[in-house]
A and B are shown apart, each in its own frame.
Chain A
Amino acid sequence: MHVVIGGYGRVGRYLAHMLEKQGHTVSAIDHDPGAFEEIGEISGQKLVGPVYDRGTLVAAGIERAGCFAAVTAGDNSNIVSARIAKETFGVANVVARIYDPRRAELYREMGIRTVSSVEWAASRILRIIGDEGQLSEYQFGEGEVEMLELEIPARAVEKRVADVETPGEIRIVAIVREHAATVPAPGERFRPGDRVYAAVASGSVDKFRALLGIKEVRR
C-alpha cells in the first residue's frame, strides 16, 4: 500500500520508518525543508510544501494512496489536509492526529478518524498511576463505542456482571483474573484485583462508572 504522510516531525518520521519496515511505500510532505534534514533516511519521497497543497499531494501520489495520515503540528492543517484527502482524492483510510481534544468533534462531523496524543498520553499515565476512572484506549467506528479497561474498584467487588451491563450500551467483554482471561457469564461476580474490559457506547461512559461506583472523572 502507498501511504502519504502530511507532516514530518517526530510522529511523521517514526511512522514513515515503521511503514517502510512493513513493506509499504511512503511519501512525506512537510512545509519546512529543515524537517527533512534529521538523521534517518526513508527510501520514499520527501516533498516540501503545504500539506494541503493540491500539486504537492498529487506529486506525493495521493491519487493512488490507500492511506493518508495528517500528523503536522497544527490541528487546522491536519483538518484541512485530511478532509481534502478524503473528499477530493477519495483516499479510503484517512487518519489525523489531534493536539486539542476539543477539536475531536469537528473531525467526527467530517468522518475522519483521529488519534489524540494528549488524551492518549494522559490516559496511559493515569493507568500507570492507578486512577480508577479509565479513559479508553480503543475506539470503534468513529468513536461511538469505546473499549474501557479498569481494575475493579472495591465498591464493585461482589457485584455481578449483569449488574453493570446495559443492553445496547454496556457490555463486559473480558475479565483478567490471576493472569488468565475469560469471557464472563452474566452471573459471574467480580473479585478484588480483577481487570475488566468493557465495550461502552460513548454516551454511556459516565453511566458505566456510576454503576461501578467510580467517582466522576472528567473525560
Chain B
Amino acid sequence: MKVLIVGAGKAGAYLAGKLHTDHAVTVIDQRQATLDRLRAWAPDVHLVHGDACEPAMLDHAGLAGADLVVAVTGDDEDNLVVSWLAKTRGGVANVIARVNHPANTWLFSEMWGVDCALSPPALIASEVLDRIAASDPGRDDGAPVA
C-alpha cells in the first residue's frame, strides 16, 4: 500500500516505523529536525519537508497515488484541511485523521473528507470512565437484592 502520513510527531513517527517494512510510506512535516529524528530509525521512509496544507506540496509528495492518508498533526484545523485535500483533490479512498481536542470531534466527518476519526484524549477518557464504572459498587447492575 502507498501510505501518506502528515505529521512526523509521536503518532506519525511510530506509525511510519510500524509500516515502512511492508508498505511504501511517505511522511510530510514542516519541521526539519523532526524529520531528521525519524530518518535515524526508519531509513527507508520517504521524507518530505513542507506544508501539507499546500496543494502543490501534497502533489509533490505523491498524493495522487496514495491508498491511505493519515493526518496526525497536533492542530485540528491542519488535519481537517489535509483530509479535505486528500479526499477532494487526491480522491484518496481511506482518510484517517487525529482529533487533538475532543470538542472538535463533530468536524471530523464526511464534510472534511474524513473516513475515520481517532481522538486519543477521548479514547483515554472512555477507558478510564469504563474502569471507574466497573469498580463502582453503586453501579452494580446485578439482580435486585432480596
Residues of chain A having any CB pair with chain B under 8 Å = 50, 52-55, 74-77, 79-80, 83-84, 87-88, 100, 102-103, 105-106, 109
Contact = CB atoms under 8 A, between A and B. Distances in A.
Contact of B80 (A53, A80, A88): A80
Contacts of A106: 55, 81, 85
B44 interface: no
A80 B103 contact: no
Contacts of A77: 77
B111 interface: yes
B135 interface: no
Contacts of A74: 77
Contacts of B76: 50, 80
Interface of B: 53-56, 75-78, 80-81, 85, 88, 101, 103-104, 106-107, 111
Q: Which 6 A-B pairs have the closest CB atoms?
A: A76-B77, A80-B77, A76-B81, A77-B77, A76-B78, A80-B80
Given A79-B77, A109-B88, A50 B53 contact: no
A54 B76 CA distance: 14
A87 B75 CA distance: 22
B103 A76 contact: no
Contacts, number: 42
Given A50-B103, A52-B104, A80-B81, 14 more contacts: A50-B76, A50-B101, A52-B77, A53-B104, A74-B77, A76-B75, A76-B77, A80-B77, A84-B107, A87-B111, A88-B111, A103-B53, A105-B55, A106-B81
A52 B101 CA distance: 12
A102 B81 CA distance: 14
A80 B127 CA distance: 30
27 contacts: A50-B101, A50-B104, A52-B77, A52-B107, A53-B103, A53-B104, A55-B103, A74-B77, A75-B53, A76-B53, A76-B75, A76-B77, A76-B78, A76-B81, A79-B81, A80-B77, A80-B81, A80-B107, A83-B111, A84-B107, A87-B111, A103-B53, A103-B54, A106-B55, A106-B81, A106-B85, A109-B88
